[in-house]
């Protein structure tokens, strides 16, 4: 029996549950791989304040990497401190609230990645922009000739480009607090074949060298409170980098299926969701209610939920559907109406956009039921 099943047997499904023993073990493993550097927790990967508070209370974790300015305001108002919004925002109302409130201005840092951002903040916020805390997102993708390997984030890559942005920011009174580099082509891709392993081997030293040059150039202009790097899939690769002051991680706490194929670590599956069987459409098939919780990113089967029971499979022509998910394979024929099937999501926190409540289990017992962001009436995009 899986760690979630007996603990939630009396609860109505669909439901989502988190095994706290696995969650804590994953937290310990992240700290081990961080090798003494603090880990800033990626809130988009949790989307549950109770679990965010739980991990922030553990040694080795400090600060939050948020994904929206209204989210940062909400978290700081609720008592969270040191929140870095790692994605640019044009939410004028929220930015103005941060810029004009002493507590928010002190505790919230927003992202810039270009002189264009700086000018937009100056023109939009006017005098309120002075003192607003910002951090520079530096592109960490790999480029081989004309080929771009990684995600499309910042246009800023070189020390000269970074200096131009920071000088513009200082010139309009922004408080430049930090630098981030997110290596999506290392942190976010499994070790699925020699080509991806080669990509990672080439990316890691290239990112490190370029980040060091950028940071050295910027420190000649301004003090930096933090230099953030890595993600769940790569933080151990940058833990020894002398210019990095903190790492980032979040998804590894829940350990969705996208982390099942990494060579360097094996997190314990902590989150899964249960669907009730509502049909038996043919011998050897069972159909569950709901389940179409397909993860964002490049479309494909790697983004689709996976059954926990070995041998139980999604039907290729339907996969996980909006209102029903048919299954087949070993044991599917034995599933009766009212039974449950458990699945794991491909990615972490975005699964909770479909559930109001997260059921927390430990040692086969239900220990608490807490709201997700959605359950608290919050939706930050």
Residue-wise pLDDT tens digits, 133-169:
999 999 988 777 787 767 888 899 999 999 999 999 9
The pLDDT value given to residue 150: 73
pLDDT of residue 257: 95
Nearest partner of 44 among 377, 376, 375, 372, judged by Cα: 372
pLDDT at 280 over 90: yes
Return the pLDDT at 237: 86
> Is the pTM value of this prediction over 0.75?
yes
The pLDDT tens digits of the residues spanning 20-31 come to 999 999 999 999
Q: What is the pLDDT of residues 171-187, one digit of tens each?
A: 999 999 999 998 877 66
The pair of three-digit structure tokens given for residue 34, joined into one six-digit string:
């961080």
* Per-residue pLDDT, 142: 75
* Mean pLDDT rounded to a whole number for the chain: 93
* 333-356: average pLDDT: 96
Average pLDDT over residues 50-76: 98
Residues of the chain with CATH 2.40.37.20: 6-13+266-374
Candidates 129, 147, 150; CA nearest to 139 is 150
Q: How far apart are the first and last CA of the chain?
A: 35
Give the per-residue pLDDT at 187.
64
Residue with tokens 């491909």: 346
**pLDDT of 233:** 85
CATH assignment of 6-13+266-374?
A: 2.40.37.20
Average pLDDT of the segment spanning 52-78: 98
Mean pLDDT (whole number) for 359-372: 97
- Read off the pLDDT of each residue in 4-11 and give the average, rounded to a whole number: 95
Mean pLDDT to the nearest integer, 271-299: 95
Alpha-carbon distance 328 to 358, whole Å?
28
Residues of the chain with CATH 3.20.20.10: 67-249
- Residue 287 pLDDT exceeds 90: yes
Q: What is the pLDDT of residue 205?
A: 77
Tell me the average pLDDT across 293-318.
92
Q: What is the second-level CATH architecture of the domain 67-249? A: Alpha-Beta Barrel (3.20)
């Amino acid at each position: 029996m899986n760690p979630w099943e007996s603990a939630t047997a009396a609860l109505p499904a669909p439901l989502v549950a988190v095994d706290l023993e696995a969650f804590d073990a994953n937290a310990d493993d992240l700290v081990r791989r961080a090798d003494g550097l603090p880990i800033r927790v990626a809130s988009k990967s949790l989307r549950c304040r109770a679990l965010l508070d739980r991990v922030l209370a553990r040694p080795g974790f400090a600060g939050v990497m948020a994904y929206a300015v209204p989210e940062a305001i909400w978290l700081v108002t609720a008592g969270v401190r040191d929140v870095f919004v790692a994605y640019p925002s044009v939410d004028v109302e929220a930015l103005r609230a941060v810029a004009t409130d002493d507590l928010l201005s002190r505790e919230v840092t927003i992202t810039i990645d270009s002189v264009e951002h700086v000018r937009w903040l100056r023109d939009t916020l006017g005098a309120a922009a002075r003192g607003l805390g910002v951090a520079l997102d530096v592109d960490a993708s790999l480029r081989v000739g004309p080929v771009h390997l990684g995600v499309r984030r910042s246009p800023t890559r070189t020390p000269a480009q970074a200096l131009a942005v920071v000088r513009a920011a200082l010139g309009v009174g922004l408080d430049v607090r930090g630098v981030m580099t997110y290596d999506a082509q290392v942190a976010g891709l499994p070790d699925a074949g020699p080509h991806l392993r080669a990509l990672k081997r080439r990316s890691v030293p290239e990112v490190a060298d370029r980040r060091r040059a950028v940071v050295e150039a910027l420190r000649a202009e301004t003090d930096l409170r933090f230099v953030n790097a890595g993600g769940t899939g790569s933080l151990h690769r940058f833990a020894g980098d002398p210019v990095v002051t903190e790492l980032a991680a979040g998804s590894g706490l829940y350990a969705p299926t996208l982390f099942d194929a990494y060579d360097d670590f094996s997190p314990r599956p902590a989150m899964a969701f249960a669907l009730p069987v509502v049909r038996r459409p043919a011998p050897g098939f069972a159909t569950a209610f709901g389940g179409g919780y397909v993860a964002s990113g490049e479309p494909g089967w790697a983004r689709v939920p996976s059954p926990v029971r070995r041998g139980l499979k999604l039907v290729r022509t339907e996969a996980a559907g909006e209102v029903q998910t048919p299954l087949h394979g070993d044991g599917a024929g034995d599933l009766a109406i009212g039974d449950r099937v458990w699945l794991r999501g491909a990615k972490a926190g975005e699964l909770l956009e479909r559930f109001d409540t997260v059921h927390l289990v430990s040692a086969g017992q239900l220990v608490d039921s807490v709201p997700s962001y959605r359950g608290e009436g919050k939706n930050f995009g």
